[in-house]
Chains A and B, each alone.
Chain A
C-alpha cells in the first residue's frame, strides 16, 4: 500500500519570505498523480497544485511551485512571497493512475504559520 509522509508537523515563515514544505511517498507504481491541498481555518480543503508523475517538468501555479524528484519519491511545495492568507494546514496526497480502486492517500499534514 502506498504511504505519504510529511516530516514537518509545523512550519513558520516570515511574510514575503519563501518556505518549502516536504513530502515523501512510497509506491511501487510508475504512473500516479500527486497533489498539495490547503486547509485554512475555515476548514475548506482547496487544491493548491498537482503533478503528473510522467511529466518531468515541475508544476507551477503563481507563487506555488513543486520540486518533484521521482527517483527519490519526493514532492516538496515551495511558497514564494508568503502572505498571511497562506497560513493553513497543507496536505500532500497521492493517487494511483493505474489502480481504479486506489483512492487518495494523504499525508499527516504540515501546519504553516505566516508571521507578519
Chain B
C-alpha cells in the first residue's frame, strides 16, 4: 500500500517563526501536492511538484515555499508564520503516468500559529 507520511499531526508555532512541514511517500510517485484545508473551503492547492526540483504554484502560494530535493520528499515552508496560516495542511502524492489514478494523502498536520 502507498504510504504518505507527514512529520507532525499537530504543531504550534509563534508568529514570525519559520516553519517546515515535511512529507514523505514510499511509492516512487512523480507528483506531490500540498493542500490547505479550511472549513467551508475544501482543499486548496498551495504548491505542486511533478519531479525533483520542479515546482508549480497552486491557487494560494503566497506566504509559502516548497522544496523537493529528493523524489520521495516534499517540504512546505512557511517563511514567516502568521496567524492566518493556522489551518490543516495535507500532503498528497500521485503517479505521473495516468491522470485517472487517485491521489494518496497523508494524515494531515494541524498547524496553529499564535
Stretch with Cβ within 8 A of A (4 or more), from B62-70, B74-82, B97-105? B97-105
Instruction: Categorize the interface residue count of chain B.
Output: 20 to 34
List of B residues within 8 angstroms of A43 by Cβ? 9, 88, 107-108
Given contacts A33-B99, A106-B35, A108-B41, 16 further A-B contacts (CB under 8 A): A4-B42, A6-B42, A9-B40, A37-B105, A44-B107, A45-B92, A45-B105, A46-B105, A47-B102, A50-B100, A50-B102, A97-B99, A104-B45, A106-B43, A107-B42, A108-B40
> Does A56 sit at the interface, judged by CB under 8 A?
no
Q: Are A96 and B99 in contact (CB under 8 A)?
A: yes
Q: Are A104 and B103 in contact (CB under 8 A)?
A: yes
Q: Which residues of A contact B (CB under 8 A)?
A: 4, 6, 9, 33, 35, 37, 42-47, 50, 52, 91, 95-97, 100-101, 103-104, 106-109
Closest chain A CB from B101 CB (angstroms): 9
Q: Are B108 and A33 in contact (CB under 8 A)?
A: no
Closest chain B CB from A73 CB (angstroms): 17
Q: Which residues of B contact A (CB under 8 A)?
A: 9, 33, 35, 40-45, 48, 56, 58, 88, 90, 92, 99-100, 102-103, 105-108
List of B residues within 8 angstroms of A109 by Cβ? 42
CA distance A4 to B45 in the complex (A): 14
List of B residues within 8 angstroms of A101 by Cβ? 56
CA distance A52 to B90 in the complex (A): 25
13 A-B residue contacts at CB 8 Å?
Answer: A35-B102, A37-B105, A43-B9, A45-B92, A47-B102, A52-B100, A96-B99, A97-B99, A103-B33, A103-B48, A103-B58, A104-B103, A107-B42
Given contacts A43-B108, A44-B107, A45-B90, A91 and B42 within 8 Å (CB-CB): yes
List of A residues within 8 angstroms of B35 by Cβ? 106
List of A residues within 8 angstroms of B44 by Cβ? 106
CA distance A104 to B92 in the complex (A): 11
CA distance A107 to B40 in the complex (A): 9
Closest chain A CB from B45 CB (angstroms): 5
A4 closest partner in B (C-beta): B42
